[in-house]
Structure 1
Amino acid sequence: MTQITTLEQLRELYPMPAPLVVEKDVHHIDQHSRTFLQHSTLMFLATEGKEGFLDLSPRGGTPGFIKVLDDHTIAFPDSPGNNRLDTLSNLLANPKVGLLCMVPGVEEIVRIKGTASLHIDEELRQQCLDGKSKPKLVVKVAVEALFFHCPKALMLSKIWNSDSYQDRSFLPSLLAIIKDQQVEKTQHGDC
């Protein structure tokens, strides 16, 4: 058998994690995660659509774009984008979220699990500016669990090391990619 289908089969390959690893998640925003979030400029937001597929969306801003409202709540502006509203409509269908928060140059990541809600309160929108602009809405997340994630993936990827950056010339512009994909879509009958 080559496909793993049970936890028992999986555990035959991987030993049990150390107790500290199992117990490292906390159920509030502690001093270290608060400081980390206040310096974060990049976040990946995982949501689930009504079809059951997961979606992952990058969010970014200047340090402090993620606001720590209290020990159990964060908020961030919804920056203008392509208006597909994939993430926002997913949140209306299922408010459970996962977040990966990053600080450039720091290889640890803060992982958050929580429940999101969408808000248009004037005061909250003013508190969560998108640069200098007031966002149309703010996403609040009630933090249910968080922990600092091991830096191994970022260390291996060398994402923060400019020597690992690739020359962009291997890939056309985003507009050219989308145009090519539209042509392929019609050729494959995906319309």
Structure 2
Amino acid sequence: MGIIRAVPDLERVVGERPLPVMMKSIDHLDPHCLALLRHSPAAVLGYVGAGNRQRAEMTGGAPGFAAAESESRLRLPIPADAEPGAGAALLVLVPGWRETLRINGTIAEDGLRVEEAFLHCGKAVIRSNLWDPAAAPEDPDAVEEGSALGPAAAAFLAAARFAVITSRDGAGLADASPKGDPPGVAKMIGPTTVALADRPGNRRTDTFHNVVERPDVAVVVVAPGDTRTLEIAGKAAISTEPELRESMTERNRTPKAVLKVEIETVRLAQSAAVRDAGLWDAARRVDPADLPKPSTIWTDHVRLNDTEGTAAKLVRAGAKERLVRAGLARDYRQNL
């Protein structure tokens, strides 16, 4: 099998979505989400731009830039080219914290109408050492825009350790998924092709399921310590090519599948959101003691999830913070 084109084939390779994992999401902003948003100075926003193109960019600049007007509406800066009513997704960052908050919904006036919220595990942040900046880039002012990776974008890509893939499914529901690795998180295959490995994560495989239905993706790539971001937009495919997978082996783990993106547009530019948020300023890191514990968030979200059926009732009944905390520690030890 080279390219996966159907969900059954996908799930044979990466596994099915476990019910307990899917029940970690809720359909509104609860107090845990509000606490994280108050401390977050920046996020990646995936949205639909002009011409029905998938777009993504870093937004924010100061803690609380995204403010909840209600449990189903979030006010935040929206790009001028964002399509009203179209699916959009937010990947919320809290400096110094390893977990990320994912909020999915639709573009509304001056914000986002919330349809789903859940906490993403911290493996991508841990693998990328996101909050530890690297040496200053050789040419921090170099920018680039076009239909292929030029020298400046290629150099940035080689140093980048963190990326967020934004996508939509066939119904237009959006998602923003983080990826983290040592430098080269997005592997340059050629001037118009990049690849991102599927590492052990929260096991939702949202991006892969979306790409099976709709190949359009936009990726924001981040190099810790650099105030620029790289946006790559194009058509994605899920590859199981052995040579490609083996070329992306890390820590003796070869990914089961790789996302290949055929580039349509590239934009390496200074990010005011990254600069103003001071993402790599140690003085701006948030003390984890000021945040809810991840195990508490997941436990409470499972209990709040309204999935029906006997199996879902059993999952809710078995949601114990102590057990979730122990499972989380074991997962982080075994699956980095």
Calculate the TM-score normalised by the size of structure 2.
0.47
Q: Point out where structure 2 has 5 or more consecutive residues left out of the alignment.
A: 1-79, 82-143, 309-336
Matching residue of 1:30? 150
User: Are 2:184 and 1:60 equivalent residues in the alignment?
Assistant: no
Pairing 1:151–2:271 present:
yes
Residues 29 and 118 (structure 1 numbering): CA distance in 2 closer, same or farther, change over 3 Å?
Answer: same
Deviations 1:101-133 (A, max 9, x none): 000000100111111111111111111223431
Deviates most, 101-110 or 79-88: 79-88
1:156-171 paired onto structure 2 within 5 Å:
156-171=276-291
Alpha-carbon distance in structure 1 between the residues aligned to 2:216 and 2:184: 23
2:161, 2:181 within 8 Å by CA — same for their partners in 1? yes
Name the CA shift for 1:132/1:32 in 2 (closer, same or farther; >3 Å). farther
Residues 1-191 of structure 1 mapped to structure 2, 5 A cutoff: 25-185=145-305, 189=306, 191=308
Distance 2:182 2:232 in 1: 19
* Structure 2 counterpart of 1:183, one-letter code: R
Please tell me whether Structure 1 or Structure 2 has the larger radius of gyration of its CA atoms: 1
Q: Which amino acid aligns with 1:158?
A: G
Separation in 1 of the partners of 2:209 and 2:302?
24
Cα contact 2:148–2:263 (8 A) shared by 1: yes
What TM-score do the two structures reach when normalised by structure 1? 0.82
Q: Distance in 2 between matches of 1:134 and 1:190?
A: 34
Shift of 1:27: 0.5
Q: Alpha-carbon deviations, 1:69-113, whole Å to 9, x = none?
A: 111101121111222121110010111000110000001001111
> Per the alignment, in what secondary structure is the counterpart of residue 52 of structure 1?
coil
Structure 1: 5+ residue stretches without partners: 1-5, 8-23
2:304 maps to a residue whose letter is E
Amino acid in the other structure paired with 2:207: T
Task: Give structure 1 regions of 4+ aligned residues with deviation exceeding 6 angstroms.
Answer: none
Q: Identity rate of aligned residues, in percent?
A: 26
Q: Matched residues in 2 for 1:126 and 1:190: separation?
A: 38
| Residue identity matched to 1:94 | R
Aligned-residue offset at 1:51: 2.8
Amino acid in the other structure paired with 2:294: L
CA distance in 1, matches of 2:156, 2:270: 14
Q: 1:110 to 1:130 in 2, by over 3 A?
A: same
Alpha-carbon contact 2:163-2:185 (below 8 Å) kept: no
CA distance in 2, matches of 1:51, 1:176: 32
Query: How many Å apart are 1:67 and its aligned residue?
Result: 1.1
- 8 Å CA contact 1:108–1:148 kept in 2: the answer is yes
> For residues 275 and 191 of structure 2, what CA distance do their matches in structure 1 show?
30
Contact 2:162 2:185 in 1 (8 A): no
Question: How far apart are the structure 2 equivalents of 1:138 and 1:98?
Answer: 16
The alignment partner of 2:245 has SS state of helix
Match of 1:10? none
SS in 2 for 1:25: strand
Q: Say which structure is richer in strand.
A: 2
Q: Distance in 2 between matches of 1:141 and 1:48?
A: 15
- Say if 2:179 and 2:185, in contact at 8 Å, map to a contact too: no
Instruction: Tell me by how many angstroms 1:183 deviates.
Output: 2.5
Number of residue equivalences: 167
